[in-house]
């Protein structure tokens, strides 16, 4: 188990970790924060952790929604977080998928998890230390991306109860982000 007091940066998947994953969520009216997630993110923000969202968005390549639709939802999500005091350092998204219907996005890329491209970009862009960083995701591809980026820790959220814990290479499995934060991160003493 990683000592979380030594962690500076936390990479977070979006769908299934931050919001309920109904599949290709792209409208604010359909975006629902998972219970307790705002409190958990606020706690991490109060601990001065660098919070970075890394999300696969193959719905763009598949033509289900546009890049502009995605960016509009991202803006609304970040505003809602900011309104409760959550500081997000950055958001990275991968619009690609090899089986997409938009030719320019239907490619094999280095950013789609389990590839570590988004994480490595954030490390480079913000001068982060992978040995002081963890990833929290709800799919094995998130965990593999953390491994591929050589992060210090990899945590799995089993919010949809579709993960077979014994098959995961995650360091630990939690039922929600709130559960992970309550059991792993202590409040700093002021």
Return the closest-CA partner of residue 81 out of 156, 12, 26, 143.
12
User: Is 190 a domain residue?
Assistant: no
Q: Looking at the predicted structure, is the pLDDT value of residue 188 above 80?
A: no
pLDDT range class, residue 168, cuts 50, 70, 90: confident
- Per-residue DSSP letters for 68-80? HHHHHHHHHHHHH
Of all helices (H) and strands (E), which one includes residue 11? strand 9-12
Whether residue 14 is contained in a domain is answered as yes
- Please report, for the domain that includes residue 98, its CATH number: 3.40.50.1000
Q: How many CB atoms lie within 10 A of CB 176?
A: 18
Whether residue 10 is contained in a domain is answered as yes
Tokens of residue 17, six digits: 């970790």
Domain hosting residue 163, numbered range: 4-184
For 21-75, the pLDDT digits (tens) are 989 999 999 999 999 999 999 999 999 999 999 999 999 999 999 999 999 999 9
Q: Is 46 a catalytic residue?
A: no
Q: Which of 13, 21, 138, 142 is catalytic?
A: 13
Peptide bond into 114 cis (omega under 30): yes
Q: Is residue 96 part of a domain?
A: yes
Catalytic residue among 8, 15, 46, 69: 15
Please tell me the pTM assigned to this model. Answer: 0.93
**pLDDT band of 190, cuts 50, 70, 90:** very low
Considering its fold, how many domains does the chain have in total? 1
Residue 55 maps to a domain: yes
pLDDT tens string 86-140? 999 999 999 999 999 999 999 999 999 999 999 999 999 999 999 999 999 999 9
Task: Clarify whether 13 is annotated catalytic.
Answer: yes
59 is a domain residue: yes
Mean pLDDT of 126-155: 97
- Which of 117, 165, 163, 173 has its CA nearest to residue 21? 163
Q: Does 127 fall in a domain?
A: yes
Q: Is residue 189 part of a domain?
A: no
């Amino acid at each position: 188990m990683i000592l979380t007091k030594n962690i500076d940066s936390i990479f977070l998947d979006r769908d299934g970790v931050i919001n309920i994953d109904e599949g290709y969520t792209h409208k604010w009216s359909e975006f629902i924060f998972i219970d307790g997630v705002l409190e958990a993110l606020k706690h991490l923000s109060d601990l001065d952790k660098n919070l970075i969202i890394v999300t696969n968005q193959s719905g763009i390549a598949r033509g289900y929604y546009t890049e502009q639709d995605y960016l509009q939802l991202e803006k609304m999500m970040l505003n809602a977080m900011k309104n409760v005091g959550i500081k997000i350092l950055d958001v990275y998204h991968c619009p690609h998928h090899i089986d997409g219907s938009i030719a320019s996005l239907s490619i094999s890329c280095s950013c789609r998890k389990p590839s570590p491209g988004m994480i490595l970009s954030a490390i480079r862009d913000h001068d982060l230390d992978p040995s002081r960083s963890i990833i929290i995701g709800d799919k094995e591809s998130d965990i593999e991306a953390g491994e591929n980026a050589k992060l210090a820790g990899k945590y799995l959220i089993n919010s949809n109860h579709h993960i077979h814990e014994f098959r995961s290479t995650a360091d630990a499995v939690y039922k929600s982000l709130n559960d992970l934060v309550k059991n792993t991160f202590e409040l700093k003493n002021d």
